[in-house]
């Protein structure tokens, strides 16, 4: 059985402050696609066991799927992405393989 491998991919995030807490509202992928966060169901300090790193882990509902979004102490956001869904151009820029809906 092939085991899936993951990579940490930095993303842009739109967020608001609500009652003194930082709450992400949408994720903007490196290829420019924007996904609204339907709901944040949990927020806690945690390690990224798949992609490496640690920070504040937000459990988010995005397009009906549960995803982890991490906020690092260096003020950057990242997500864990399966390596088979990532392609690179000649300058090692990341793009994600489009998901057929």
Into how many domains does the chain fold? 1
In a domain, 1, yes or no: no
| pLDDT tens profile 12-61 | 999 999 998 999 999 998 878 899 999 999 999 999 988 888 899 999 99
Predicted pLDDT at 99: 47
- What is the rounded CA–CA span in Å between residue 7 and residue 40? 22
In a domain, 101, yes or no: no
Mean pLDDT to the nearest integer, 67-96? 75
- What is the rounded CA–CA span in Å between residue 12 and residue 34? 9
Q: Report which of 9, 7, 25 is spatially closest to residue 77, judged by C-alpha positions.
A: 9
């Amino acid at each position: 059985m092939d085991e899936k491998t993951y990579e940490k991919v930095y993303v842009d995030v739109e967020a608001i402050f609500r009652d003194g807490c930082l709450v992400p509202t949408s994720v903007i992928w490196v290829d420019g696609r924007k996904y609204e966060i339907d709901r944040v169901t949990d927020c806690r300090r945690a390690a990224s066991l798949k992609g490496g790193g640690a920070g504040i882990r937000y459990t988010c509902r995005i397009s009906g799927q549960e995803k982890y979004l991490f906020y690092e102490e260096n003020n950057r956001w990242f997500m864990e992405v399966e390596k088979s869904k990532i392609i690179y151009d000649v300058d090692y820029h990341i793009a994600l393989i489009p998901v057929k809906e």
